[in-house]
Amino acid sequence: MPEVPPTAELQHHIQALAACRKCPQMRSTPVSGGPVRSKVMLIGQAPGVREPLMGRPFAWTAGKTMFKWFWETVGISEAEFRVTVYMAAVCRCFPGRGSQGGDRVPSRQEIENCSTWMQAEFALLKPELVICVGRLAIGRFVEPLPPLHDLIGKLFPAVRWGHRFDLVPLPHPSGASPWPRIEPGKSLTRTALELIRDHPAWRSRTDFPRQESHGIPADSG
Ligand code: SF4
């Protein structure tokens, strides 16, 4: 599937995001998947300690598991995924370690601060399919949050910021929870991936009218 050139607006958005320093408790600068023009948006929770160093989301163990899921059930490689799916997150900076040893859960204020970036991305990209990874991300769209076995393997029609889309939740692939590795989580995760694979927006995620693919007129030389 071909990548499409980003619009100028999307490039500006990514540059502005990279410069954001709104949250003083965050322990890294923002991590972005880049200005990928797509009808499909993946929303993670927040980067871990490795992602800022590697300069991309889902760059370490959780990413390895998630991209293995996509390869095995959806048939897409990590490389193709990264250039045909827009990757967002509830918070774009590494929150630091929490008191229990894992990564700190971002505060309500930090989540609110960062939601302005996501709102702008919905306005720019108008995603038709949104894949939320992990309960923090799913909880931004589904309230109250039911148990995972009532969420995973289902598609939810959703509206946010005046925009309609289909939401498919995935469990978090970090390995902290065995849920995706044991039944019924294993089968439900596979069902969720099949819903993504068979969704019309997935198959046409980089299909845009040619003149809309560029931020400059086609005849500008
Ligand atoms: S978490 Fe989001 S809002 Fe806060 S500094 Fe990082 S990019 Fe900015």
pLDDT in tens, 136-195: 999 999 999 999 999 999 999 999 999 999 999 999 998 888 999 999 999 999 999 999
CATH (domain of 124): 3.40.470.10
Ligand 1: residues within 6 Å at CB? Answer: 20-23, 26, 30, 91-93, 110, 113-114
Domain count across the chain? 1
The whole-model pTM stands at 0.93
Residue 19, in any domain of the structure = no
Residue 146: Cβ within 10 Å count? 11
Look at residue 168 and tell me if it is in a domain: yes
For a ligand 1 pocket test, name from 43, 112, 114, 121 the mutation site with the most ligand atoms within 8 angstroms of its C-beta: 114
Q: What stretch of H or E contains 12?
A: helix 8-18
**Per the domain annotation, does 212 fall within a domain?**
no
**Domain residues for 51?**
32-94+106-207
> What are all long-range contacts of 99-104, with beta carbons under 8 Å and residues at least 24 apart?
102/176, 103/46, 103/48, 103/49
